[in-house]
Structure 1
Amino acid sequence: MPAPTSATPGVAVITGADSGIGRATAVRLAEAGLDIGITWHSDEQGAEDTAREVRAKGRRAQTARMDLTRLPQAADVLDELCERLGRIDVLVNNAGTGTATPFLDLNLDDVREVLDVDLVGPFLCGQRAARRMTAQGGGGRIVNVTSVHEHQPRVGAAPYCAAKGGLGLLTQVMALELAEHGITVNAVAPGEIATPMTGQEDTDVHTVHRPGVPLGRPGDAREVAAVIAFLAGPDASYVTGASWSVDGGMLRMGPMAGSHLTGDDWRRP
């Protein structure tokens, strides 16, 4: 990310920053000197708590509700936050949702909701942010939070896997097309992270045993935020079009995991 002038500090907008990875990223980028735009869907108090943490780091924070099931209007919220904060230098597409429904039982409305929130929404927000970055000049950073399921399937998560896989390839196309404008675009693919989404809010990850993960535990949201902050910062100026797995080695298990299963539990979501 090019350094803004001292009179115009850098600005990052993070979708779904009311908890979990989004909140940890907001705080980490505030520590790096960025003002932060925070979107939330259902947890307004969570967004205000994130804003309070950002302001405690000496940076500005603005919050706004964004419902990515209401497209394309939801992308207007990105423009609203950019206007309130004066610019945009970093976009982190973090908001997401999923299902735990067998493929044969899925209905079209649920599929469309997941695709809108996890793929079409990031597409539209990324487009709005990139247009503003291009108009400002000086480049920018876009980080799309995908999942290990950008790369590997999961039973019961057909729409989620389709959306995250699509977002991974979208990231690569964006990287190719936006490079001439000095905008880098990368994906971060978390594994199991202790967040409200996984039912592990405020969990000490070092007390949870995960024998199928080489590092033996889930990840902490701050560990994902650290990778996002790297990709959003000046040290990643020659990194674009990549997907960074933050999964404790989970994806490396492959056939190892399959050959060590002892039952059919994996067949059920």
Structure 2
Amino acid sequence: MLFAEGSVALVTGGSRGIGRAVALDLAREGAHVIVNYARSERDAKDVVALIQESGGSAEAVRADVADEDAVRQMFRGIRADHGRLDVLVTSAGLTLDRYLITMSQEQFRTPLDVNVVGTFLACREALRLMQNQKRGSIVTISSTSGLDGGFPGQTNYVASKGAIIAFTSALSNEAAPHGIRANVVAPGFVATDMTRKVPTDIRKQYESRIRLGRMGRPEEIASIVSFLASDKASYISGSVIVAHGGGLG
């Protein structure tokens, strides 16, 4: 087990994709997992059920991470029910692909509201709680798109994922004096509902160029997140861990 008994972890966007895999893995490693969701209540409850059936501990909490009042309410509940938070993983995110020439201001802003503002709000509230403990670990989920420019039509998404990397680097500076670590995981092409929206011909072309010859699995990203969140990574902070199958050949 990576986490001591009584450890509490919050995973935003924990009902689907990488967030779902992270929630399952953190629970498997001994943490009580709070599965945050915005709309997918059934999916979130399914994750909780899977964890409980496996002998773990979890609960589902609804909150739109881009809504400041909702995030504050979620953290008030965490403080009241648990009195602590050991791990925050910010996995909530979305894409809204459009070529820039046809993109409206709202279409550009929407991914930033969820991906960046949502990360900021969750991290701010987590930091306030973790400071009292003088310990904690924050893992934000970015993307290699934030490093390499992503696909055509993703300027909004790329901007949001690049911002998460820069934000987490700055956060790690503020968090360190309080015994809190902050790191980024930047996955490449991973088999999720989000990547399935990419046109089949582009997806196959991209996959064929990955050095390991395949897309990543959410579980592979989750294991990295759990390691970074745990005391096994106690001397890692302000780092970006890239998981992209060796990159493009």
**How high is the TM-score relative to the length of structure 1?**
0.84
Matched with 2:15 is: 18
SS of equivalent residue, structure 2 residue 182: strand
Residue 228 of structure 2 corresponds to: 231
Identity of aligned residues (%): 33
> What is the DSSP-based 3-state SS (H/G/I as helix, E as strand, rest coil) of the residue aligned with 2:48?
helix
Deviation at 1:104, TM superposition (A): 1.0
Distance 1:73 1:31 in 2: 31
Alignment correspondent of 1:84: 81
Deviation at 1:85, TM superposition (A): 3.4
The alpha-carbon deviation at position 3 of structure 1 amounts to 6.7
Aligned-partner SS, 1:151: helix
Residue 159 of structure 1 aligns to a residue whose secondary structure is helix
Runs (5+) with no aligned partner, structure 2: 198-204
Across the aligned residues of Structure 1 and Structure 2, the Cα RMSD in angstroms comes to: 2.0
**Are 2:102 and 1:105 aligned?**
yes
Tell me, yes or no, if structure 1 residue 173 matches structure 2 residue 174.
no
Match of 2:71 among 75, 80, 100: 75
1:222 aligns with 2:219: yes
Return the match for 1:65 from 62, 65, 83: 62
CA shift digits 1:192-233 (9 cap, x unpaired): 111122229xxxxxxx99211101110000000000001011
Counterpart of 2:26? 29
Q: Tell me, in whole angstroms, the C-alpha distance in 2 between the residues paired with 1:54 and 1:60.
A: 6
For 1:221 and 1:102, locate their aligned partners in 2 and report how far apart those are by CA, in whole Å. 28
Task: Indicate which of 183, 186, 190 corresponds to 2:183.
Answer: 186
**Partner deviation per Cα, 1:156-184 (whole Å, 9 max, x = no partner):** 11111111111101110111111111101
1:213-257 Cα offsets, whole Å, 9 max, x none, are: 10111000000000000101111000000111111122xx3xx6x
Q: Indicate the residue corresponding to 1:145 in structure 2.
A: 141
Query: Is the Cα contact below 8 Å between 1:62 and 1:81 reproduced in 2?
Result: no
- Counterpart of 2:209 in 1: which secondary structure? coil
Paired position in structure 2 for 1:242? 239
Give the partner amino acid of 2:140: N
For structure 1, the 5+ residue unaligned runs are: 201-207, 257-269
Q: Does the CA contact (< 8 Å) of 1:79 and 1:128 recur in 2? A: no
Residue 47 (structure 1) aligns with: 44
Could you tell me how far apart the structure 2 residues matched to 1:25 and 1:195 are? 13
- CA distance in 2 between counterparts of 1:210 and 1:72 reads 38
Distance 1:74 1:188 in 2: 25
SS in 1 for 2:60: strand
The residue matched to 1:210 in structure 2 has which SS? helix
Higher mean C-alpha deviation, range 79-88 or range 231-240: 79-88
Q: Secondary structure at the match of 2:127?
A: helix
Moved over 3 A (4+): none
SS of the residue aligned with 1:100? coil
What secondary structure sits across from 1:156 in the alignment?
coil
Which of the residues 131, 145, 148 maps onto 2:128? 131
Q: Aligned pair count? A: 240
Structure 1 distance, partners of 2:206, 2:109, is 35
Question: Residue 194 of structure 2: which of 194, 197, 215 is its match?
Answer: 197
Give the greater-gyration-radius structure (CA): 1
Is the contact made by 1:14 and 1:94 (CA closer than 8 Å) also made in structure 2? Answer: yes
